[in-house]
Structure 1
């Protein structure tokens, strides 16, 4: 599952973990990304210390074997982690799905956790690049799901997604226990407060947040990239 930050990505990971037949991996390339770029993220030292910093080793692990003897493997990937120099060949061995969210909502949420985000920080450019790469490999558009559709009707959206993946929908995907999870990344204390308070998907979102200044400019820059993938969303 490829998304940018603040994009319902952790809730989706929790939903798949709740199936009972699915191992999950929280942002496999995060440590390698921080080590390679030197970008200062909250808890960067802890992330690097806890994770694998060799991107080639991470990519190999993404291809299996599946941990815990499970039949499915859900990988929560951040598109911004796929920097130049990281070999993307492993994508051919995965079923790649793209999780999108309107950039106004992403920017409003991200800016509460990390000041002055850039276009590179929120992952829309990288998501479009990865989408095009996978589309070229497949000869068709890969699966795209919009967080707004999931929140508006989680059961319907997940049923459609699971059918497209040729796996059964499981009712337990709609609920999970509150609090931290053993499979959370070490960065969870900074980023996951809201999802730790949840026991399922939040309800449908209302109007877009009103943004001004650099945040409005950032939203405008990301909007065409979002709209291009939105045209391919599953269930459209």
Structure 2
């Protein structure tokens, strides 16, 4: 009998890797770090031409089969961006999972993304497909269980305990801290996870920067598109 697959849908630069690290520390889940990014960037039918490399076994359906095979052995936790499996993103796909969301003020996520990828695309901001995933989850009759990065870092015990209760997972306060270091599941995107690899817990977040000014029209347009999605999901943020 298959075990549950919990998927945390987020956007780039949102502290989602720290949440994933907490789940790894529990030791009771097989953890996948952005597995569908292989399909998006390195698969045979990739949507992005950002990278030249092709990774075998990285078609979206193959990645899904890999995740579901792991769930035959033990519970699975997946952290990913909703834009990565966009070709699969429908009711049938999301019905396979326990879905949850993590958000952070888009002034922070987009500014950080622009520093890493100044040529980011609209899709790579992550917000449009996150909104689409939320629509589908509600259409399935599942609740919107949302973690806000600022609340998480300000009071990790309260947020994580509430999240565990809503997701049907036993709360383990000992997992709120961990030893620093890289994780094997971070191999593909290790450079993006450097700050988390140095952390020992959720720590403090700097206040988000001001919204991008209109002089940076590209970043401002991305912010204006993201803000309603953030505000929609923030209304469901834990604890609540």
Secondary structure in structure 1 of the residue aligned to 2:30:
strand
List runs of 5+ in structure 2 lacking aligned partners: 1-7
1:135/1:175 CA distance change after superposition, 3 Å: same
CA deviation after TM superposition for structure 1 residue 85, in Å: 5.5
| Corresponding residue number in structure 1 for 2:4 | none
Cα distance in 1 for partners of 2:114, 2:147 equals: 23
Matched, 1:219 2:223: yes
| Corresponding residue number in structure 2 for 1:176 | 178
TM-score (structure 1 length as normaliser): 0.87
1:84/1:20 CA distance change after superposition, 3 Å: closer
Matched, 1:115 2:128: no
Matched, 1:59 2:86: no
List runs of 5+ in structure 1 lacking aligned partners: none
Cα distance in 1 for partners of 2:109, 2:227 equals: 11
CA deviation after TM superposition for structure 1 residue 195, in Å: 1.1
Which stretch of the first structure deviates more once superposed, 213-222 or 203-212? Answer: 203-212
CA deviation after TM superposition for structure 1 residue 45, in Å: 4.5
Given that 1:108 and 1:209 are in contact with CA atoms closer than 8 Å, whether structure 2 keeps it comes out as no
| Corresponding residue number in structure 2 for 1:104 | 107
CA deviation after TM superposition for structure 1 residue 88, in Å: 5.8
CA deviation after TM superposition for structure 1 residue 52, in Å: 3.1
Cα distance in 2 for partners of 1:200, 1:61 equals: 29
Cα distance in 2 for partners of 1:169, 1:38 equals: 38
CA deviation after TM superposition for structure 1 residue 81, in Å: 0.6
| Corresponding residue number in structure 1 for 2:3 | none
| Corresponding residue number in structure 1 for 2:46 | 37
| Corresponding residue number in structure 2 for 1:90 | 93
| Corresponding residue number in structure 1 for 2:202 | 201
| Aligned Cα root-mean-square deviation (Å) | 2.1
| Corresponding residue number in structure 2 for 1:187 | 189
Matched, 1:76 2:83: no
| Corresponding residue number in structure 1 for 2:130 | 127
TM-score (structure 2 length as normaliser): 0.86
Cα distance in 1 for partners of 2:91, 2:58 equals: 16
Cα distance in 1 for partners of 2:166, 2:206 equals: 25
Cα distance in 1 for partners of 2:59, 2:90 equals: 11
| Corresponding residue number in structure 1 for 2:11 | 4
Secondary structure in structure 1 of the residue aligned to 2:238:
coil
CA deviation after TM superposition for structure 1 residue 162, in Å: 0.4
Matched, 1:26 2:27: no
Given that 1:11 and 1:200 are in contact with CA atoms closer than 8 Å, whether structure 2 keeps it comes out as yes
